[in-house]
Structure 1
Amino acid sequence: MAAMTTTTTRIDPPMTADEPAMLTAWLDYHRATLALKCEGLTDEQLKLRSVPPSTLSLLGLVRHMAEVERYWFRTVLAGEDTGPNGLYWTREDPDGDFDNVDGADAAADFAAWRAEVAAARAASEGLPLETVAKRDRRGEQVTLRWILVHMVEEYARHNGHADLLRELVDGVTGE
């Protein structure tokens, strides 16, 4: 299949900014990093697994991050009822985002991820960092600040995986 041809622009976070701008910039930087790690690859390359028995793939990471964006911003922060299942997982198949990529449509999955990023931005736009989420996480309240910091951490960790996966696929390395 054709390679992903989207051109991603990644903007370095500012060295000085207020806290909301800094956190948002770092999150956007890491979102762009994941997109960059996937650019120029075919559907088959995006679905390549890292090392058996792991089911980790670049497309699985994109699908997982769509789920994470959806959960933290729409379900937890905004209190939206997103249903009992995720985009790619069910209670019976909790790792479907990672495991079920063989028959997946990469273009549709990237579109879903981009839509969840847009929804996340809309859910948090203009809110003070001290805003308490409408839903608890494991019985604990969380603030928008906590969610943003967690999202930076989540992307950074998975972008490390994406570095290794991309190198496995075609030898490309770099930031």
Structure 2
Amino acid sequence: MDLHKRTEPSRVADDRSSLTGFLQYQRETLALKCAGLTADQLRRRAVPPSALSLLGLVRHVAEVERSWFRVVLRGENVPPHWHRPVPGRFAEFDVDSADPAEAFEIWAEECARSRATVDGFESLDTTVQWRGEVYSLRYVITHMIEEYARHNGHADLLRERIDGATGE
């Protein structure tokens, strides 16, 4: 994923292009928030008492991409990328010794798989069943936009505390 560019979504696209464009824009926004930082800065928990870090957010969205697009939509049985030492705890946020290059590579791979999954669905209204619930592709993409937008707000605060950078 290019950490230095962001593509504006079309203002006149159909539903599918609009939703996928906004999702990609949110992905690129997180990448921009991380651009130009050192490994230590990416790992920094800059807004105490929160344990969030930019690297933790990248690892988290990689897991969210994996779970919604591969597990829910495609029915794949794929384990998390980062082992949870304590049940119920999100291992992706444990970044003290985490490798940023690995995290960004895994995230980029998951995003590519997610785009391929979306491309493989004929309609936004196509549904799947997972754990007794029904989900449409439209719901999953919309949820992912919300997920990224929320975490991009966290990334704004983290980045500002790390080096003072602000902006969209």
Alignment match, 2:160: 167
Pairwise mapping of residues 30-109 of structure 1 onto structure 2 (< 5 A)? 30-83=26-79, 86-90=80-84, 92-93=86-87, 94-98=89-93, 100-109=94-103
Structure 2 distance, partners of 1:62, 1:77, is 21
Higher strand proportion: 2
- Between the two proteins, the alignment pairs up a number of residues equal to 165
- Alignment correspondent of 1:14: 10
The structure 1 segments of at least 4 consecutive aligned residues displaced by more than 3 Å after TM superposition are none
Aligned equivalent of 1:25, options 18, 21, 27:
21
In the TM superposition, residue 126 of structure 1 has moved relative to its aligned partner by 4.0
* Length-normalised TM-score, structure 1: 0.89
Which runs of 5 or more residues in structure 1 are unaligned?
A: 1-5
Structure-2 separation of matches of 1:7 and 1:65: 15
Q: CA RMSD in A?
A: 1.4
Task: Report SS of the residue matched to 2:98.
Answer: coil
Provide TM-score, normalisation by structure 2: 0.93
Q: For 2:90 and 2:78, how far apart are their aligned partners in 1?
A: 18
Q: Which moved more, 1:74-83 or 1:123-132?
A: 123-132
